[in-house]
Amino acid sequence: MKLIFAIVQDQDASNVIDALTEKRFRVTKLSSSGGFLKAGNTTLLMGVEEKDMDELFDILEENCSVRDEATSMVAMTSPSDSFMPYPLNVRVGGATIFILDVAEYNRY
Ligand code: 2BA
């Protein structure tokens, strides 16, 4: 068994969870935030058998979209040491996925 962490955008979370549970995958939803944008995102925690992983990744790919986000970073200007915001576009992925081996899985 593998443990999958998938970080997805909040806008996609509801659809992807519905699609996963419809196919009988078990999912835990965690509210999270990205360190770079400091914006909310969703982390999905899923324990899956290796034979089912391709189906799970297909569902993530179908339901998670790449989006361009406009944000502003702050730069310090010298010599006055004042802070200047400047616009920045970042491409946020549909899903960032981590796959871990599971030593043991029990449900009581
Ligand atoms: P954030 O950290 O808010 O990052 C949002 C997007 O900003 C990233 O999209 C990437 O395009 C850009 N970005 C992130 N860190 C950057 C940096 N140090 N310099 C320049 N640009 C940067 P994604 O790569 O698709 O990541 C989406 C979210 O997935 C991230 O939100 C974070 O919550 C998570 N994530 C991505 N890679 C991760 C990793 N290696 N470890 C832990 N979490 C990760």
Instruction: Say what the pTM is.
Output: 0.91
57 contacts 23 by C-beta, under 8 angstroms: no
38 Cα to the center of ligand 1, angstroms: 10
Residue bearing tokens 């790449």: 66
1 contacts 102 by C-beta, under 8 angstroms: yes
Residue nearest to atom 8 of ligand 1 (CA): 92
Confidence of residue 107 (pLDDT cuts 50, 70, 90): very high
Report the Cα 72 to chain-centroid distance in Å.
Answer: 21
Average pLDDT, the chain: 93
Give me the mean pLDDT over the 4-26 stretch.
98
Q: Ligand 1 in contact with 85 (CB < 6 A)?
A: no
Between CA 43 and CA 33 the distance in angstroms is 9
Helices (H), the chain: 10-22, 53-63
